[in-house]
Structure 1
Amino acid sequence: MIPFKNIKTIFFDYDGTLHNSIKIYGPAFRKAYAYLVRLGAAEQRDWSDREISYWLGFNPQEMWKTFMPGLDDDIRNKCSTMIREEMRALTESGAPELYEGAIETLKYLKGRGYRLVFISNCRIIYRDCHRELFCLGDFFEELACSEEYNFIPKYEILSKIKDRYPEEMVIIGDRMQDIEAGKKNDIYTIGCSYGFPLEGELDEADLIINNIKKLKKYL
């Protein structure tokens, strides 16, 4: 049995772990892709939410390097800005949705005395909009995002901030980047199968949960 009873600090991924991010990322991705089609830089096709969700968990640089590595820098930057602005507009309109039980679970964990830390491969403006919309500052004592660290890998960000907090630690997330971050920092990992993982991505997690509220059982 993993000694979760000794945990003092919990690092939370955001998209796919607390936030059902396809609700805003899907429309933004499709808008940018339609722009690429108009330019003749991409072929017309329909994208399912499941296909688009593959890119959730990547920082913007990783996403474009993998998705369309040969794209002209100016076009890539235009598309990245388009996605960012569309997601911002949707956020400001109140479109984002947290998973059912997410706030309830955060309140429970904070009430139990855990140190909660947000760590996400997102931009500063995205983090700030969601912090305001969902009052995330009421739960997290730090909200770290990849743009603040020049989009270095999540495991490197975690290595830079973890010493600020007491051991023992656990990181919770739905993608390979989260499990990798935990393994490379000798931190327990909890994988979230209800998010956007591909088959096998969570195989190395110390524990897998299928609902955010299941954290109450272990923490």
Structure 2
Amino acid sequence: MRKSVIFDMDGTLFQTNKILELSLEDTFNYLKSLGKWDGHTPIEKYREIMGVPLPEVWETLLPNHTMKIREEVNQYFLETLVENIHRGKGALYPHVESILTHLKENDYSLFIASNGLTTYLEAIVTQYHLDRWVSEVFSIEQIQTLNKSDLVKRIIDKYDVKAGAVVGDRLSDIKAAKENGLISIGCRFDFAKEEELSQADFVVNDLMELENLLIKK
């Protein structure tokens, strides 16, 4: 029986922290230019909630702003993220290409399920040629509920996944695995929280550890 691995993108495959501060700073400077923000860029607050869908991000960071302003900011932020990706400001985590190659060579089907928006995910896939290994990338935009568990279920249903794992750094990834009968593997990377990782079946500090967890089983 062929197995599958479903990866999160931000904080799992892609080092979002390398472009996060740049893009967020630029976005809040834009808000200041509109006279809609006064103060420091809430980078630490964003780090705390990293991994949630963007509508929830702006509800948290801009609780007193209108929906129209949030949507405008969301679009500006997305465009800035994509620009920084194409300018080579981001990076994959160490050994991403190696582990994806090993998994593919061992007949694993590989997917990405992310709370990121489609345009953003496509920019990362294009920049780093992830389509060499990944069968399909799924964005939270495709799910009305904005729930990672439902997004993973869509992959399972579409590709008739019978066994496998979800690899990610946040609780939403761990829950998505458990609620769909898959192995949960937490990544102790930039945005991970120990209280969330404690709920995973396994935790890795480096993606190459997946070789022992998955391939050599």
Matched letter for residue 131 of structure 1: V
1:7/1:198 Cα in 2 relative to 1: closer, same or farther (>3 Å)? farther
TM-score for both structures, normalised by structure 2 = 0.89
Give the number of equivalent residue pairs. Answer: 213
Map 1:104-183 → 2, pairs under 5 A? 104-150=98-144, 152-163=146-157, 164-183=159-178
Equivalent of 2:210 in 196, 205, 215 = 215
Contact 1:28 1:82 (C-alpha < 8 Å) held by counterparts: no
What corresponds to 2:14 in structure 1? 19
**Which runs of 5 or more structure 2 residues have no equivalent in the other structure?**
none
What's the % identity of the aligned pairs? 27
What corresponds to 1:32 in structure 2? 27
Contact 2:2 2:109 (C-alpha < 8 Å) held by counterparts: no
Task: State the 1:94 CA deviation.
Answer: 1.7
Task: State the 1:152 CA deviation.
Answer: 1.6
Matched letter for residue 18 of structure 1: L
Alpha-carbon distance in structure 2 between the residues aligned to 1:85 and 1:165? 34
**Which runs of 5 or more structure 1 residues have no equivalent in the other structure?**
1-5
Matched letter for residue 79 of structure 1: V
Contact 2:174 2:200 (C-alpha < 8 Å) held by counterparts: yes
Alpha-carbon distance in structure 2 between the residues aligned to 1:160 and 1:69? 31
What corresponds to 1:192 in structure 2? 187
Matched letter for residue 17 of structure 2: I
The higher-RCO structure (CA 8 Å, 6+ apart) is: 1
Q: Which moved more, 1:68-77 or 1:171-180?
A: 68-77
Alpha-carbon distance in structure 1 between the residues aligned to 2:33 and 2:122? 32
Task: State the 1:93 CA deviation.
Answer: 1.2
1:41/1:198 Cα in 2 relative to 1: closer, same or farther (>3 Å)? farther
**Structure 1 vs Structure 2 CA RMSD:** 2.0
Task: State the 1:86 CA deviation.
Answer: 0.6
What corresponds to 1:64 in structure 2? 58
Contact 1:7 1:170 (C-alpha < 8 Å) held by counterparts: no
Alpha-carbon distance in structure 2 between the residues aligned to 1:210 and 1:60? 27
Alpha-carbon distance in structure 2 between the residues aligned to 1:101 and 1:151? 33
Map 1:67-86 → 2, pairs under 5 A? 67-86=61-80
TM-score for both structures, normalised by structure 1 = 0.89
Matched letter for residue 203 of structure 1: S
1:145/1:216 Cα in 2 relative to 1: closer, same or farther (>3 Å)? same
Contact 1:24 1:91 (C-alpha < 8 Å) held by counterparts: yes
Alpha-carbon distance in structure 2 between the residues aligned to 1:46 and 1:122? 21
Alpha-carbon distance in structure 2 between the residues aligned to 1:18 and 1:147? 19
Matched letter for residue 193 of structure 1: R
Alpha-carbon distance in structure 2 between the residues aligned to 1:54 and 1:114? 33
